[in-house]
A = this chain, B = another copy of it.
Amino acid sequence: MTEVYPRVALIGLGLIASSMFWAMKRRGVVGHVTGYARSAATRDTARRIGLCDTVCDSAAEAVEDADLVVLAVPVGVMGDVAAEIAPYLKPGCTVTDVGSVKKTVIEAVAPHLPEGVHFVPGHPLAGTEHSGPESGFASLFDNRWCLLVPVEGAAPEAVETLTTFWQALGANVELMDAEHHDLVLAVTSHTPHLIAYTMVGVADDLRRVTDSEVIKYSAAGFRDFTRIAASDPTMWRDVFLNNKEATLEILGRFTEELFALQRAIRTGDGDHLHAYFTRTRAIRRGIIEAGQDTDAPNFGRTRTER
């Protein structure tokens, strides 16, 4: 495969960045990859396991000469990192990110970037409940979506090259605007995650009543909620704080519908329940027809196997 970018810098060396590294190396998509993470512990781990061709001790050093800079840190620190690297960016390079929220990340990052640098925000829809430099694997993005959210005035060539890059990593790329991205993700990912966290919290409270039975019989439906609720607390805190508006909007609708169902249970309105449960089947059929269901239903999370 021809090189898409001669030099790539990964800022943040967690699940997403490390998966990107192994996926780049699998296909020989790029030349040299530098990496940087905040803690010396993570940088040491990266060096030990061969994550990145060069692990740098500062973000500035990592981005120098890079043709593509990937911000792969929690959403809440994207702005700080952008400010830190801005003076060292090579003119004409592309900066992208992998944050799960797009509108606030763009607002935080864009003002720091010098003219002549192409900012093309992105979001690969792939993950696991694991995090850190050792959790990545090359196939994470295979046949998953990567959404690119070009900001106004983004150079079409920069968007095209980044598209080629993500395709080489295994992903299918789509373009979307930031606001719409945040609403769609609030429905398909953020609110489901918040709900799962909540249900697990309730079960945790109830452990005194039910002893270990909640765990013992968790396979009855609850277990997958706990898989989600094991995801990184910092990442999810930042997602909810940064996709506040859309998440609160969807949550509002959710509680409205939940209250209607709750009232139907309380008043014994079986017809309401039956009609509701029948209607929701249509969406399921749509997903099967769209080929979005697989044998391993797992909240879009892939198992860790490198």
Contact = CB atoms under 8 A, between A and B. Distances in A.
B203 A283 contact: yes
A7 to B, nearest CB: 31
Task: Name the prevailing secondary structure of the A interface residues.
Answer: helix
Interface string A290-301: 101111111110
A214 B200 contact: no
Interface string A171-202: 00000000010011101110111110111111
A27 to B, nearest CB: 22
Nearest to A231: B277
Given A258-B251, A298-B297, A218 B188 contact: yes
A222 B280 contact: no
Contact of A253 (B202, B228, B270, B294): B202
B261 A204 contact: no
B297 A268 contact: no
Given A215-B286, A258-B251, A284-B226, A199 B189 contact: no
Contacts of A295: 296, 303
Nearest to A235: B277
A17 B210 CA distance: 29
Interface of A: 76, 125, 129, 144-145, 180, 183-185, 187-189, 191-195, 197-207, 209-210, 212-231, 233-234, 236-238, 240-241, 244, 247-248, 250-251, 253-255, 257-258, 261-262, 265-266, 268, 270, 273-274, 276-287, 290, 292-300, 303
B240 A197 contact: no
A251 B262 CA distance: 8
Nearest to A226: B284
Nearest to A295: B303
A292 B78 CA distance: 37
A190 B28 CA distance: 49
